[in-house]
Structure formats: structure tokens, C-alpha cells
Structure 1
Amino acid sequence: MADLDLNLLVALDALLREGSVARAAERLNLSAPAMSRTLTRIRTALGDPVLVRAGQGLVPTPRALALREQVRAVVRDATALLSPGTPTAPERLTRTLTLRVNDGVIPLLGNALYQRAREEAPGLTLRFVAEGTEDVESLRDGEVDLDIGVQGALGPEIRVQRLGEEPSVCLVGRASALAKGRMTLERFARAEHVVVSRRGRLRTPLDAVLEEHGHERRVTAVVPNLLAAAALVARTGALAVVNGGFARAVSTLMPVRERPVPLPLSPIVVAQVWHPRFDRDPAHVWLRRTVKALCDEPRRLLSP
């Protein structure tokens, strides 16, 4: 890679990430013809096609695959080295910070965090992106600054800070018959259930707990996110099992209310995670401290 300058390495990294000239061009704010010319220069410098056509798309060559991690590391380190120093005072910060959250966190935390940013760090832009693969690589590369939610398996170097925990509750429409009277296990099991699953799964761990108590439930709808579940139960006689913090927050926005789940369910633990290379970055420090402080406010967000 001796003949590749930093700009070509950045372009090569984008091409290997996207597997598409058009998407790589969009990533780098270039035109597609300019990116095509850059790919030609990269091919000449490496003496390798780098990307070859396969059906309707492009796939990397073995040489490109072998270089991918090395290129990514060089670009990441060079970007960090050449980035200008960040002012430490929050009011002087001018950055875009990317937070990966599920839609349940937005009504729970988004408004308060937005207001705090406007008051203390008005130069910051908060970019909320939806959960997807939840890959650790996006934290390592800085594509995601902070991940907030229920955390799964993480890389050994990833920092984790517990924000709090919430019980599971039933979310029902205020006009629903389920909003009145005692929520017994039999009544809960007989109700129409709306399941939240990004992957469209009908069955969740709740079904196993129900079966242990001699009951089954009927799932009548599956939706991809919590807000969709709330919107659905608001006007129907169905219920959805959600975390208590989300139920409290969404009940101020929609005609819904929370009811207890008549089962012993483990609380939902929420944490924020980030890569240690941002441990001392002033913008990241402000963001993490602010998120934690907001979550520690009694019953406003997550209850510790």
C-alpha cells in the first residue's frame, strides 16, 4: 500500500465497507463518476481489481479482503491523529454525536436529552439511529458514539455503564376493558397480545414463563417497535408487554395506561456502551454524564 495516499485509503475503506461505488460516493459526499475514477486509481496502485461484479452487485477480491482490516485501522488512526482538538467547555462543542437506541428510549430519554443539549451544548447535533445489527465494529469505528439499550454480547474492550432497570408491564388502551378490574393470570393469558419483534418473531421468552404456569397466549399481531405496539393497543382491546419506563412516557403521548404483569418476570436492565478511545473525549464525556444524570433523576427516566 506504499503508493496509496490517505485520500485513496479513505476511499478504499468506504468501497470495502459499502461494496458499492454509488454508496461509497454518498458516504464520502462525492459524485459516482468521481468515485469510479478513484477506484481506477486504487486498482492501478494495488495491481488488483479490488471489487469485481457478481450479479447485480460488487464483491471484494481476496486481496481486498486481506487488506480490509488493515485499511480500516489506518484510516481510523489517521483520522483521530489529524482531527483538530476539541474544546472542553460544553457550550463550545460543535459536533454531531450518534446515539444508537431503540424507539422505546426516544420518549423515555430523547426529549430530556435534547433539552439539556440545547441549554448546555447548543452546538451539538444529536443523531439518533435505530437498532440494527448492534455490531461492536460500529462502536470501534466511531460510526456510533453511544449505544443505549438492553445490551447483548460485546467486545472485551467495550465500556459498559448501567443506567437502570425497569419492570415489565402490560400496556393497554385507556378505553379497553383490560384497563379496568384486576389483571389476573387467566385474564392476561386470554387477552389478545401484540408482540414487539424487529425480526417478526411470534414467540418470546414470555411464552415459556406462561407455559410454566400452565397457560398459553394468543398473539394477534407482531410489530417491529414499541411505538407501533402502543399505537395499536391504544385503539383496540389488545395488550402489549413493555418496560415500565416506556409505558410511563408513552402514556403522556397516547391514550394508553400500564397494568401489572401477573407473572414473575426479570427486570429489564438498560446500559450505555462506548469504545474506550472516547473515554476522555470532551463531547463524549458530556454526553455520557448527561445521559447518566438524566437516568438517575427519580422516576423521570429509568429507576435504578
Structure 2
Amino acid sequence: MQGVDLNLLVALDALLAERSVTGAARRLGLSPSAMSRTLARLRSATGDQLLVQAGRALVPTPYAEELAGRVPALARDAQAVLRPPAGRLDLASLDRTFTLRAGEGFVDLLSAPLAAALLKAAPGVRLRFAPKPDKDAQPLRDGSIDLEIGVVGRSAPEVRTQLLFRDRFIGVCRAGHPLLAGEGPTAERYAACRHVVASRRGQAHGPVDDALARLGLKRAVVLVVPAYTNALQVSYTSDLVALAPRLSLGNALTRHRADAGLQGFDLPVPTPEIAICAQWHPRLDGDPAHRWLRQTVAAVCRDAYPAA
């Protein structure tokens, strides 16, 4: 297909329909001289004269007559394939499964309202939340994941992102913990506690340790678990102090607070904010159904965290 110009197909359609260089030029918004040059290119490409002079008119060659029945449909099909998708998204008839990947906090807190919002507009839509063992972008690239929700990784610069909300870390301990007594959780008293850390990769060090180190302090991490919900359960039943995203684990904290089991507190040292984003592969940018999914996810997050 080297050297093939599909614009020539559209021009040939106009020339065969008008059987006039001037008429075809007018139809395509070109000058007569430009259309004459296009006819010369068509003759060179096909090896046929296509239209020849007969008095003051142009008449088709036998080969052009043969093409006349095929070219209009080919020209329409070529333009349709190379044109952005047209038409309004019909949510009522949309039949599609969207696969999302998110942390346990998002699934716990927002999967139900997200499903309700999607199904209200599109009853034929289904949601599937996949496990999130890491931040590998390959599932976005190969299409096994439609949308990822969480902190942006660094391995896929082509991935599109949209900020959903900002979160921050808080400390969590059981109600009645000695850390909460007296002057409360100062940096020194916080560092002197024993801690449980949530990390999918088994890492005990994090931003709070960097902040403590700047004060010459170090905390004792004695337990590493894979999920924040695990860390909360450990704190609920022991003296270990946990670290958790305030908004992302709101439901879990609320459930434990109901029976006076857990207490959240502001960290005595500053830590960076957590930017929770929607992430998708750029091939889905123009997909109307995926755009609607992204907009719905963003709206559900705004309703859940209006001030975040």
C-alpha cells in the first residue's frame, strides 16, 4: 500500500459522478486546476485514462464504467473508517463489562455507590473489580484492565491520569491506648510506640519515617501486613499503632469507632498528600462508553469527598 492516497478514492467518486473536472472540483471544494492535477494522479495510479474528452464533455472509459458501481461504496466506507465515531452514546442499550483495579479502601467505600450510579443510567453495564497486587501498567496496556484507581506509578508515561481526590495519612490505635493520654501523640511519644505497617511489597519504611528522621527519631516497626484493613484489625486488638489513609479507609474506621474500638489521630509529623487518580490507556480516550465511565467515577468521588 506504499504511495496509496485514499483522498484519490474520494476524488474518483466525485469525478465519476459529475463526469466533469469543474463539477467535481465544486463538489469537493477544490479549484479546477487542483482537480485536473488529481485526475492526472488517478490516471497514473490506475494506468487508465478514466475520463476522456468527447467534444465539450468528458466520457468514462470502459474501466471507469466498471469502477463506477464500486467506487461510491468504497469511498463512503473509507471516510467512515477514518472519521471519529459519530452518534450519541445510548446508555440504555449499552451492554458492557468494565474491569477496574483499586485498593481495598476504594472498593470498600465506593464500589456500591459507583455501581448504583452506573446501573441507574445503563442497566446493562457490569462492573468487575480485579485484585491489585502492584502498580504494574501492563494490564492497562493489554486491555485486561479498563480503569485503575490509586496513586500513579512511574512505569507507564503514556498512561492518562485524572485526579479524583487528595488524601492524607493519619495514625490509628485502639481506644484507650497510652499514646492518646496526657499531651497526646507528640513526635517523641509516637516514635516510642511499636508499629504495624501495611505494604503490598513488604516494605517497613515510608514517608513518616523520613519525617521522624529529620527530628532524629525512629519508630519501631514490628509487623508488616499486606493491606491497610489488616493493619487496622491488628491495631484494634493490640497496642500496635497503624498508619492509614484518612478518606480511603473511612468505612473501616467508622465501623470500629461504632464500638469504641479504634481511634484516628493526626500524625505529629508532616507527610506528603496522597493524590488518588483514575488511570487509563490512551487508546480509550475517544471511546464514548469509557469516557462516561471516567466521568461517573469522578462524580461519585466528588460526592463522597466534596472537600477533599
Give your verdict on TM over 0.5: yes
Residue 165 of structure 2 is aligned to residue 164 of structure 1: yes
Which structure 1 segments of 5+ residues have no match?
A: 1-84
Describe the shift of the 1:109–1:154 C-alpha distance in structure 2 as closer, same or farther (beyond 3 A): farther
Structure 1 segment 256-275 matched on structure 2, within 5 A: 256-275=262-281
Aligned match of 1:99 = 100
Contact 1:197 1:223 in 2 (8 A): yes
Contact 2:167 2:248 in 1 (8 A): no
Structure 1 residue identity aligned to 2:297:
V
Structure 1 residue 227: Cα displacement: 1.2
Structure 1 residue identity aligned to 2:101:
R
Aligned match of 1:234 = 236
Q: Tell me, in whole angstroms, the C-alpha distance in 1 between the residues paired with 2:145 and 2:87.
A: 18
How many pairs were matched up? 220
Which structure 2 segments of 5+ residues have no match?
A: 1-85
Contact 1:230 1:240 in 2 (8 A): yes
Structure 1 segment 199-214 matched on structure 2, within 5 A: 199-214=201-216
Structure 2 residue identity aligned to 1:199:
R
Residue 179 of structure 2 is aligned to residue 173 of structure 1: no
Q: Tell me, in whole angstroms, the C-alpha distance in 2 between the residues paired with 1:266 and 1:133.
A: 21
| 2:250 partner SS | helix
Structure 1 residue 179: Cα displacement: 5.0
Structure 1 residue 286: Cα displacement: 2.0
| 2:299 partner SS | helix
Q: Greater CA radius of gyration, 1 or 2? A: 2
| 2:269 partner SS | coil
| 1:246 partner SS | coil
Which TM-score applies when normalising by structure 2? 0.65
Q: Tell me, in whole angstroms, the C-alpha distance in 2 between the residues paired with 1:302 and 1:213.
A: 34
Structure 1 residue identity aligned to 2:240:
A
| 1:272 partner SS | strand
Q: Tell me, in whole angstroms, the C-alpha distance in 1 between the residues paired with 2:290 and 2:95.
A: 12
Structure 1 residue 177: Cα displacement: 3.9
Q: Deviations over 1:187-229 (max 9, x none)?
A: 2111221111112122223222211111111112110011111
Structure 2 residue identity aligned to 1:288:
R
Q: Deviations over 1:104-157 (max 9, x none)?
A: 221232222122233222322211112234232321221110011001114343
Describe the shift of the 1:184–1:285 C-alpha distance in structure 2 as closer, same or farther (beyond 3 A): same
Structure 1 segment 293-304 matched on structure 2, within 5 A: 293-297=299-303, 300-301=304-305, 303-304=307-308
Q: Tell me, in whole angstroms, the C-alpha distance in 1 between the residues paired with 2:251 and 2:89.
A: 33
Describe the shift of the 1:87–1:203 C-alpha distance in structure 2 as closer, same or farther (beyond 3 A): same
Structure 2 residue identity aligned to 1:202:
A
Q: Tell me, in whole angstroms, the C-alpha distance in 2 between the residues paired with 1:243 and 1:146.
A: 21
Contact 1:170 1:260 in 2 (8 A): yes
Aligned match of 2:72 = none
Structure 1 residue 161: Cα displacement: 0.6
Structure 1 segment 59-74 matched on structure 2, within 5 A: none
Structure 1 segment 112-261 matched on structure 2, within 5 A: 112-179=113-180, 182-254=184-256, 255-261=261-267
Contact 2:207 2:271 in 1 (8 A): no
Structure 2 residue identity aligned to 1:187:
R
Structure 1 residue 242: Cα displacement: 1.4
Contact 2:114 2:296 in 1 (8 A): yes
Q: Tell me, in whole angstroms, the C-alpha distance in 1 between the residues paired with 2:136 and 2:227.
A: 19
| 1:270 partner SS | strand
Q: Tell me, in whole angstroms, the C-alpha distance in 1 between the residues paired with 2:215 and 2:196.
A: 20
Residue 291 of structure 2 is aligned to residue 285 of structure 1: yes
Which TM-score applies when normalising by structure 1? 0.66
Could you say what the CA RMSD is over the residues aligned between the two structures, in angstroms? 2.6
